[in-house]
Copies of this chain bind each other. A is one copy, B any other.
Amino acid sequence: MIGFEHMKKISRMSPSKIVLLVIDGVGGLPHPKTGKTELESAKKTNLNHIAKESLCGLIDLISPGITPGSAPGHLAIFGYDPVEYNIGRGIIEALGIDLELQPEDVAARGNFCTVDSKGIITDRRAGRISTEKNAELCQLLNKIDVNGAEISVVPVKEHRFVLIIRGEGLSPELADSDPQQVGLAPKKIEALLPQAQRTAGIANEFVSQAKGLLRSARNDIPSANMVLMRGFSQRPDIPSISEIYKLKPAAIAVYPMYRGLASLVGMEVLPTGNSITDQLESLRQHYGDYDFFFVHFKSTDSRGEDGDFEAKVQAIEELDNALPSLLSLNPDVLIITGDHSTPATLARHSWHPVPFILRSRWCRPDNVTEFSERACLAGGMGRFPAIEIMPLAMANALKLDKFGA
Q: Is the CB of B30 within 8 A of A404?
A: no
Q: Is A194 an interface residue (CB 8 A)?
A: no
Q: Answer yes or no: A395 CB below 8 A from chain B CBs.
A: yes
CB of A259 within 8 A of chain B? no
A193 adjacent to chain B (CB < 8 Å): no
Tell me the number of copies of this protein.
Answer: 2
Residues of B within 8 A of A353 (CB): 380
CB distance from A348 to the nearest CB of B (A): 8
Which of B351, B388, B403 meets A64, CB within 8 Å? B388
- A131 CA to B87 CA, complexed, in Å: 58
- Interface window among A97-105, A204-212, A362-370: A362-370
Q: Is A231 an interface residue (CB 8 A)?
A: yes
Q: In which size bucket is the chain A interface?
A: 35 or more
A381 to B37, CA, bound (A): 17
Q: Is A256 an interface residue (CB 8 A)?
A: no
Stretch binding the partner chain, chosen from A68-76, A119-127, A151-159, A163-171: A68-76
Query: Smallest Cβ distance from A171 to chain B, in angstroms?
Result: 19
| Contact among B29, B89, B400 for A66, CB-based, below 8 A | B400
Verify A403–B66 contact, CB threshold 8 A: yes
Q: Can you list 8 A-B pairs, Cβ within 8 angstroms, ordered by A?
A: A2-B83, A68-B402, A69-B405, A72-B403, A72-B404, A231-B405, A351-B400, A366-B377
